[in-house]
Structure 1
């Protein structure tokens, strides 16, 4: 009998992830199913594929397992439905985070699904293969973690015990055992990416997260296996590895893993990057692990996540944040090592208000986060407590809307027959009504646009450090009615507000731009491109100068002049020398790196290096600077001081 697994991931410009779930299911089954010789595993479906093409591939299969995630659920359902129409006897099994624990409504909504697995899938799928009998259903009673409907009645079998360290060890690595070799040989044109687990589970209980479905124990693969797998990645031309661990750095062994990965990169030149998600309250281990990755050329940026700084919100969602002192200490140490960080927030959390959200963003910047704040909208996932607890959304007055799920920087799919993926987003709560959610969403877009895209970061630092304005005051100035008299500033403010309102009405979170690389752009990047592409940068700065009532020789005017000269643009072929009456660049760099430099008055000449990096077209600039430079905030040129002359302290 043929077995097939469908684990659909998104593709990235000819790059695809090896289907790790499919590998795990096959590997565990080969090690534990006594009658495995009766089965033949087909090549998995691992990327978005037209429904009819997928069905034709799956028709020979007796059993088909689907891994359902936010990014593939609807396509997986469509394939499963057509497959059942074409071959009714096929056993269709669904698992993954999109399958809820209370699966009765799920199974009734999609009756072409024969059964669903909740939680870890390896044991349950192997048990299905062990007990399956063609044309019968009684065997389902023997399969742990299975949910199914029989004769109109819903059945929920007891959950399988989680795989502990020994259980994980009993599952051979699909990489090392060669399960992907044939797939890779069949697609020599594909640049493969890899997902990697060195542990499984999360000890925390954040109620918005679907890690909770596994419980709070963390289980570990052996170090020997982890080391061997990373070397396999290098030897098999894997350029990018995404580590699936929920808390990298939670144990000392993660530092060993990072150092080993760096040694492998040094020996083979690959992989080029290893992306990890950091532990929250393990400051020293996180620093050592990330330093090892950075020293080895594997670092993709360090996440120092808050999600919220409002104590009531953190209590409501069951989250304990990284301590502020640890955040500041890590931020400073990473800055000293030239390792870039970014901080995560989530909009739409329970008990968050506009004020607490805006203050949290402002405080995080003041604590030293000048590289990037990433703020996602709160999604409602079936495996998370906010979804499984029937009263949670009502208790906090959460309003949700279904929107199409697209990936920022993902290619726009114009196929009229495409299957759209969707997600549920929170767009209002009892403490953040709809109009406040719109204000908050616009506020973080404005913060990204002005500060993290570097468009107004130098003046913002001066306004905060020298003139005593909070970053919140600065960003809100650009969102206020005071911009009504300034056409360009008004246009950007209104665009942010209208886009936020459109999300509340079910529109996508990002901006499609067929004329700009044919991809979905984050809102701030879209406006940044528009400003530069349309040649209106100078007008933006002129309006900002007028709005802040800046005099011609003032410190703030010089800061704006410097910032305007630093924005990277294409088709530039000469450096620029700029003379200022203050050491603004040195002062600014001191603030953002955590190594303060006194502001001094005098004659300071700065050479702006506009020739070391050049872009010969707007498309090249959009790709290399705005897109690839996103996490690094690499939107401004380098600066070389020339003969500073100090006249005195400011």
Structure 2
């Protein structure tokens, strides 16, 4: 039981978060970490409230969540971080909780419920309070009211909330100003609010999440971004951020995901990158930076790219275009953004030799099926890795508030609470379903890089666009009778019928765990694609296609292993990283260079030197197989490629420093920065 205080039992507040992906590792509970850090640091609340975080993966069932939450000491307060994917489960948990503890408080917060109290409180009667905006200080105020013996139906004095009043009405209090000085928010890392290790002593999350700022100066029609759209950007102090980066480096955390809306837009972002590099020079980590890069590719952005590239820090740079159609851009509120000058940005990124991928949204008002495919192919001529996300009508967005003007027809499914767009003035329901079939293959083969090198050679040497290749596979699969084709058809049709784009992950798992996939893809290539290839280039394209198949990442889950693991591959540690080493048949090991020459316009091409040897695959791919930004790290490489990547990473490190392939360091550094940051936070 929780410990007793002088005034009685300590109240138990349980903060509940659930990620969207069903993965073997957790997603870091950043939002709840902020709340716990704030409560723990408060003189009164720290004595009176025991705060615990319950962090669930996307595959957790209701029964599993119930057992974990309600089998031990019963919480007095349940606070949920709510998104469209988890609100159905959280509403049911709240109902069960109220049966066990009728006087308990249930708080919903997050972008999906903010300013939606009439609907939320009307539908989920067990919910008492909805937080309308940033929650760190609001939650502390709610706990103070609870500790003081206040009634959950009488919270008019707390700004920034909506609640169910005793007379059955929904009351909304005055809006609360946004937090101007972000350092007032306690660090969830330096405070220890977020546990960093699992029971085996390993980092327990797929990546470390952090913010360097909040706010977005743009106001795109499809976006809400936590309510901070069209607003001035507010930043955490450099001192605070340096302390957190040093903390991550000392813990040997490889991947940093920065939750900013437009990273690379401000001069301060360049300083932040320099501080990442400094942490890596000291500890060898972090090694990877993932973020939402600035929409407009300014000189500051390219300075950031140069810094990342020259330091050996790994990152993938995003072209968040969303559409190439002029009318659709107008509806999106992005018509006059410099983002539309994307070809020049791609050329500069290519010249710097960095990885980039593009983002599109399907289903936006103004976009037709044919127009979208034409834009997709135009973009794919420059950037072969394209992530496409079907439009969801997010609460509080411009599209949601002006749906009638665009003829938007939507559907909320039983599994979640997202409004999926069925049709609009330029898109029929049949067009939508046809596009969802296309997106199934696009998300697997292009976005998640199952094929990486073959796209540009097929376009330049055989005149085949990316959509043509993907649609050829879709048509060919329909005519097959083998088991693998049947499995893929079933998952594809589930995604098309449900309009749930996340269903593609089941198909992606098939590509990595089923041995028959190789035979199926070879048959498709031989029967459907190779006959369309000019004879002088057929053998060359065969080599590139075989290379893509051979170098696909290895899905190393013990329960559903990649078929290649049946060969009992050797495991080798190279520069502190663990690799499977698999003997392969002769491959053209210089395929990436060959593709570069094809893209540059060379036509006098040879198949190159063919060599036999081992391919090196980083272990652990199953932990993040559905993350298209992580996948390229796990692609098979020759030993020479592994060595080259290590030289790039090590070139900025001082000789003999502890970061040369190890996560060793001195905890004293962390203690100093933690103390310094806490002083700043209380200022």
The normalised TM-score by structure 1 is 0.78
Aligned residue for 1:276, secondary structure, equals: strand
What residue in structure 2 maps to residue 6 of structure 1? Answer: 15
Q: Does 1:431 align with 2:426?
A: yes
Q: Does 1:209 align with 2:223?
A: yes
Q: Does 1:606 align with 2:615?
A: no
What residue in structure 2 maps to residue 252 of structure 1? Answer: 267
* Contact 2:36–2:51 (Cα < 8 Å) also in 1: no
**Aligned counterparts, 1:59-70, within 5 A:** 59-70=73-84
Q: CA deviation at 1:173?
A: 2.0
**Aligned counterparts, 1:478-517, within 5 A:** 487-488=479-480, 501-506=493-498, 509=501
Distance 1:112 1:607, change over 3 A: same
CA distance in 2, matches of 1:20, 1:169: 15
**Aligned counterparts, 1:513-592, within 5 A:** 520-522=505-507, 526=510, 533=517, 535-544=519-528, 547-548=531-532, 554-569=535-550, 570=564, 573-576=583-586, 588-592=595-599
Question: Structure 1 residues 559-568 or 100-109, which shifts more?
Answer: 559-568
What residue in structure 1 maps to residue 321 of structure 2? Answer: 306
Q: CA deviation at 1:363?
A: 0.8
Q: Does 1:396 align with 2:396?
A: no
What residue in structure 2 maps to residue 374 of structure 1? Answer: 387
* Contact 1:354–1:440 (Cα < 8 Å) also in 2: yes
What residue in structure 2 maps to residue 413 of structure 1? Answer: none
Q: CA deviation at 1:508?
A: 5.1
Could you give the per-residue CA deviations for residues 187-243 of structure 1, whole angstroms, max 9, x where no partner exists?
Answer: 846524432111011111122222162342211111111111111112234343221
Aligned residue for 1:505, secondary structure, equals: helix
Q: CA deviation at 1:142?
A: 0.5
Query: How many residue pairs were aligned?
Result: 592
What residue in structure 2 maps to residue 412 of structure 1? Answer: none
* Contact 2:133–2:226 (Cα < 8 Å) also in 1: no
CA distance in 1, matches of 2:394, 2:608: 51
* Contact 2:448–2:631 (Cα < 8 Å) also in 1: no
Q: CA deviation at 1:258?
A: 1.1
Could you give the per-residue CA deviations for residues 127-167 of structure 1, whole angstroms, max 9, x where no partner exists?
Answer: 22344442535741111111112211121111101111x2x
* Contact 2:488–2:510 (Cα < 8 Å) also in 1: no
Q: CA deviation at 1:503?
A: 3.2
What residue in structure 2 maps to residue 464 of structure 1? Answer: 459
Aligned residue for 1:207, secondary structure, equals: coil
Question: Structure 1 residues 171-180 or 271-280, which shifts more?
Answer: 171-180
Could you give the per-residue CA deviations for residues 552-603 of structure 1, whole angstroms, max 9, x where no partner exists?
Answer: xx22423433234323334673552779xxx9986632344xxx242126xx
Distance 1:354 1:611, change over 3 A: same
* Contact 1:455–1:564 (Cα < 8 Å) also in 2: no
Distance 1:633 1:541, change over 3 A: farther
What residue in structure 1 maps to residue 579 of structure 2? Answer: none
Distance 1:5 1:337, change over 3 A: farther
Aligned residue for 1:314, secondary structure, equals: helix
CA distance in 2, matches of 1:506, 1:489: 24
**Aligned counterparts, 1:128-167, within 5 A:** 128-132=142-146, 133-134=148-149, 136-137=151-152, 139-150=154-165, 151-164=167-180, 166=181
Q: Does 1:197 align with 2:192?
A: no
Distance 1:402 1:639, change over 3 A: same
CA distance in 2, matches of 1:369, 1:423: 30
Q: CA deviation at 1:469?
A: 5.7
Q: CA deviation at 1:547?
A: 4.6
List alignment gaps of at least 5 residues for structure 2.
1-9, 551-563, 568-581, 641-683
Could you give the per-residue CA deviations for residues 579-635 of structure 1, whole angstroms, max 9, x where no partner exists?
Answer: 9xxx9986632344xxx242126xx3523455231679xx99989999889743976
CA distance in 1, matches of 2:235, 2:256: 18
Aligned residue for 1:177, secondary structure, equals: coil
Q: CA deviation at 1:20?
A: 2.6
What residue in structure 2 maps to residue 94 of structure 1? Answer: 108
Q: CA RMSD in A?
A: 4.1
Distance 1:147 1:612, change over 3 A: same
Q: 1:284 aligns with which of 290, 299, 302?
A: 299
Aligned residue for 1:376, secondary structure, equals: strand
Q: 1:126 aligns with which of 107, 119, 140?
A: 140
Distance 1:590 1:442, change over 3 A: farther
CA distance in 1, matches of 2:636, 2:316: 18
Distance 1:351 1:74, change over 3 A: same
Question: Structure 1 residues 65-74 or 5-14, which shifts more?
Answer: 5-14
Q: CA deviation at 1:402?
A: 1.5
Q: Does 1:349 align with 2:364?
A: yes
Q: CA deviation at 1:101?
A: 0.7
What residue in structure 1 maps to residue 676 of structure 2? Answer: none
What residue in structure 1 maps to residue 52 of structure 2? Answer: 43
CA distance in 1, matches of 2:330, 2:114: 24
* Contact 2:250–2:283 (Cα < 8 Å) also in 1: yes
CA distance in 2, matches of 1:527, 1:273: 26
Aligned residue for 2:76, secondary structure, equals: strand
CA distance in 2, matches of 1:624, 1:27: 28
List alignment gaps of at least 5 residues for structure 1.
405-420, 513-519, 641-650
Distance 1:79 1:632, change over 3 A: same
* Contact 1:241–1:275 (Cα < 8 Å) also in 2: yes
Distance 1:30 1:21, change over 3 A: same
